Amino acid sequence: LAKTTQPISMDSYEGQEVNITCSHNNIATNDYITWYQQFPSQGPRFIIQGYKTKVTNEVASLFIPADRKSSTLSLPRVSLSDTAVYYCLVGDARGPIKAAGNKLTFGGGTRVLVKP
């Protein structure tokens, strides 16, 4: 199971771009990289997922280099409402149905504070 390492916290200002890098040196061939956002007292919410290169959706971009040992979540033009904890999670795409199960273990996350 690939372990992930993220910065503990980051501060930013409204309108700026926030980039959070996650290290996952022992990522396996079948592993996908998924990012989640969590607000206080709420369950984490899926943001974006990728396997390699770049993925973009309406809220974020995910950059994954060729060696896949790290990934960077990019939040463009953040607002105060983007203040949250962001988790990087690495897990087998076949995870939920594997006989051995899927210990999807979250790391400590990155606490992002957006200031006015």
Partner 1 sequence: DSGVTQTPKHLITATGQRVTLRCSPRSGDLSVYWYQQSLDQGLQFLIQYYNGEERAKGNILERFSAQQFPDLHSELNLSSLELGDSALYFCASSGSGTDNEKLFFGSGTQLSVL
* Residue 35 near partner 1 by CB under 8 A: no
Nearer to partner 1, 6 or 70 (CB): 6
| Structure tokens belonging to residue 42 | 């709420």
Q: Which of 98, 116, 89 is nearest to 6 (CA)?
A: 89
**What span, in angstroms and rounded, lies between the C-alpha atoms of 46 and 34?**
8
**What span, in angstroms and rounded, lies between the C-alpha atoms of 35 and 33?**
7
* Residue 39 near partner 1 by CB under 8 A: no
Least distance from partner 1 to the Cβ atom of residue 76, Å: 22
Instruction: Tell me the number of residues near partner 1 by CB under 8 A.
Output: 31
* Residue 107 near partner 1 by CB under 8 A: yes
